[in-house]
Structure 1
Amino acid sequence: MRRGIHSQATVVAAVALLALTACSTDSSIEESPGAGGESPAASESSSAPSTEWFDQAVYDTQSEQRSATFEGDPAQPWLQYIDGEMTDTADLAADGAQKVCFSNASISNPWRQTGWITMNEQLKELQDSGVVSEMETRDAQDDDNTQIADIDYFIAEGGCDAFIISPNSTAAMTPAVERACETGKPVVVFDRGVETDCATTFIHPIGGFAWGIDTAEFLSENLEQGNKVVALRILPGVDVLEQRWAAAEKIFGENGIEAVDYFTGADPTEIKKIISDELAKGDVHGVWMDAGDGAVAAIEAFEDAGADLPVMTGEDEMSFLRKWEETGLTGLAPVYSNFQWRTPLLALEKVFAGEEIPTEWVLPQVPITEAERADFIAENEGMPDGHYAKFGGNDLPGYPQVWQERTIP
């Protein structure tokens, strides 16, 4: 029995308003509000119990996958995968350049913008080699109904040789993905999952529980029982984000770490206020984030208060890496591998050639440690603060200019 596409994700209980990773506070990066035209409002400590998002079996699987052996060349992590069930695509082989239709949730934040640039540079290579004729793209701007209409448009148009879908949310997109599958054309789902196993492959990094385990274990190892951690969360209802916190909350509890969590709405002003208020109550020893947005604002709040800098986890966004290096704080940069944006097109290259591909294509998800930080900063010299260190596009046309200039196709 084939594993379902949603096997790594809990069903989303609320529509995801933003992407899985953070928005940058860097003014050089174009940002858009969430669904409905409004940014998610910041709020005080969350009230929804994280137990509704906790799945012990998935937690255990992702914990083990952090140390798994990945097939493929480590120099090309976007093509690596964990050995498992493979899909035979011989009946999907095609001659000549093929048209790809891409239904994208959005490019509403720098993580998605970085990936979108990388994806388009990968597309140029495949067009030059005669694999892809064009990629027609529709951007749903973080709206479920828009994305459903986009997918149905592609199906009705009838000119797509293959579909790539980055779902805005899990449950709402499932019927539309199934309709795409019913065309008999290859369907690649990536980033977030849906509640069907009909797609040719589902591509994603290990997942939210792995992020939560990496970060909470790091903080617990560098803190003492009874120390206080402030958890800064972007918004509720996004499966991978909720899983990050569910794993972290479990580990903090097991290690006697006092953790309080807040939804910030990705607002640096609100982040500073939260940290300042908590510092007024007493010492804050650690900061945990479910995405890197606002990491610099959090650090600046400690600096403004003249307080000792915390042990902290951020993300591989350049703003955090640079501030981490500047301050010398004890830190870790978890990743939700941005290079995954290359993989869907490369998967279709294999499909058009009739090669087998992983049914569930699990990509490496390795945090950046202090020992590696300087190398990643050097490798990404000249990139804006909203760029992601593990974007995986160093070998693509246009490097480094299109990423430096944020040339959004």
Structure 2
Amino acid sequence: MCLRAAPCGVPPQLSAHQRPCTAPGHRAFPFAPPPGDPMPRLFKNLTRNLSVLALAAALTVPAVAADVELLPAGLLTPTTTEQTKPNQFKKAGPWRIGVSFGGVGNTWIVQMIQEMKAAAAQRKEITEFIFVEANWQAAKQVADVEDLLTKKVDAIIIGPISAAIGAPLAEKASKTGIPVVVFGAFGKAMQSTVEIGAGGEVFGRQGGEYLRKELKGKGNVWAFRGVAGVDEETLRYNGFRKALAGSDIKITQEVFGDWGYAKGKQLCENLVLSGQPVDGIWFSGAEMTRACLDVFKESGKPLVPMTGEGNNGFLRAWKSTGVKSIAPQFTPGLGAAVVRASVALLEGKPMYRAYFSSPPAIGQAELDKFFRPDLSDAYWLPSTLPEATLKETFRR
């Protein structure tokens, strides 16, 4: 046996000791036939035929839900193996897509809407993109969805105020035969084609666990909640409370700041002026954190650990004040994700029935990685918007 280890031009799956030798006079048939042998032509034909068959096989492999990228890796994960059927909602363009969202009231939602519209603008098949918001009023959201269905939208995205309000709306939309993409994690509580959620109890738990560790399991904390009656707000607060269960940490004050800076600042001023002791503060949104940091600074009150969020304004305040904190990520890119899911369904692609975004919270060690000193406080991260758009929209 020839033991030459040099490459011999044979299939790569053969190990070195299996390769036939091509030394002069050594016939390594069938890999090296002698001159005049018809085998080379046979092998060329065989190789060509196999290539054609391989290509045909590749073209006939059915699409799977994993083929659709809604957000960059690490930001969104399927939470079920259940999928929609291929071509179940396939429809030729042009498309009219409608969105009913619970309300607007902070810069996160403003950016999320921008990311929705940017994703829709990338698809020429979407000739009409209708966005309506209900100002957190149940009756208005009911009317909004009914109006969108009357307009014969080809797909509908519903960001409900709550499951109780959204469930009958999603059911009604589903009965029309169009794909229904729900913004939120409601599971069986809502009849959706695909649901895409984030935040919720995971968001609240990340902040709660941080305070529990930082305060060594004891002390008094204040809780700044979001908009009362909104499911996302309730879920975040529940996650926070569960993280404190079994500890000696007491929630001594609980207020609703509506996820906004102005109301958050007013409430924080009232609490600081009351003189009530506090060892840490949990926030359901970073605009309220920024407001409270300003109050503490203006009043000269020593800082206590405060939870934040992936907002550039908060990250700037975190860096400048040195406050002890952590920042859960709630990407506004979810707006792009629900649009991309709607497009994929209309293209006939199978989709997982549920996805959830829960990237790790930003800690002190990651602060410089995420903070953008060149962008304004209104920028939320991570974003799906192109760098040029970010610099134009959020130029500081």
Q: Using structure 2 for the length normalisation, give the TM-score.
A: 0.74
3-state DSSP of counterpart to 1:103:
strand
d(CA) in 1 for partners of 2:71, 2:88: 30
Q: Quick check: 1:270 aligned with 2:270?
A: no
Equivalent residue number for residue 310 of structure 1: 304
| CA root-mean-square deviation | 2.6
Query: Counterpart of 2:229 in structure 1: which amino acid?
Result: G
Q: Quick check: 1:95 aligned with 2:88?
A: no
3-state DSSP of counterpart to 2:182:
strand
Percent of residue pairs identical:
23
Query: Counterpart of 2:226 in structure 1: which amino acid?
Result: I
3-state DSSP of counterpart to 1:137:
strand
d(CA) in 1 for partners of 2:72, 2:88: 30
Equivalent residue number for residue 103 of structure 2: 106
Deviation of 1:201 after TM superposition, in Å, equals 0.5
Residue 389 of structure 2: which of 372, 393, 398 is its match? 398
CA gap 1:345/1:403 in 2 versus in 1, 3 angstroms: farther
8 A Cα contact 1:165 1:188, kept in partner? yes
Equivalent residue number for residue 185 of structure 1: 178
3-state DSSP of counterpart to 1:374:
helix
Q: How many residues align?
A: 324
3-state DSSP of counterpart to 2:132:
strand
d(CA) in 2 for partners of 1:213, 1:274: 24
Q: Quick check: 1:357 aligned with 2:351?
A: yes
d(CA) in 2 for partners of 1:138, 1:86: 29
Equivalent residue number for residue 84 of structure 1: 81
8 A Cα contact 1:189 1:202, kept in partner? yes
Q: Quick check: 1:144 aligned with 2:135?
A: no
Q: How does 1:108-187 map to 2 (within 5 A)?
A: 108-127=105-124, 131-158=125-152, 160-187=153-180
8 A Cα contact 2:170 2:190, kept in partner? no
8 A Cα contact 2:174 2:180, kept in partner? yes
Q: How does 1:223-262 map to 2 (within 5 A)?
A: 223-262=215-254
Equivalent residue number for residue 294 of structure 1: 288
Residue 330 of structure 1: which of 318, 324, 339 is its match? 324
Residue 209 of structure 1: which of 194, 201, 204 is its match? 201
Equivalent residue number for residue 335 of structure 2: 341
Query: Counterpart of 1:162 in structure 2: which amino acid?
Result: A
Deviation of 1:323 after TM superposition, in Å, equals 0.8
3-state DSSP of counterpart to 2:287:
coil
Query: Counterpart of 1:126 in structure 2: which amino acid?
Result: R
d(CA) in 1 for partners of 2:189, 2:242: 29
3-state DSSP of counterpart to 2:218:
coil
Equivalent residue number for residue 57 of structure 2: none
d(CA) in 1 for partners of 2:197, 2:146: 24
Gaps of 5+ in 2: 1-67
Q: Deviations over 1:224-273 (max 9, x none)?
A: 34322222223432222222222322332422123223214341122122
Query: Counterpart of 1:240 in structure 2: which amino acid?
Result: E
Query: Higher RCO, 1 or 2 (CA under 8 Å, sep at least 6)?
Result: 1
Query: Counterpart of 1:233 in structure 2: which amino acid?
Result: R
Larger radius of gyration: 2
Deviation of 1:322 after TM superposition, in Å, equals 0.8
CA gap 1:246/1:105 in 2 versus in 1, 3 angstroms: closer
CA gap 1:285/1:79 in 2 versus in 1, 3 angstroms: closer
d(CA) in 2 for partners of 1:157, 1:307: 55
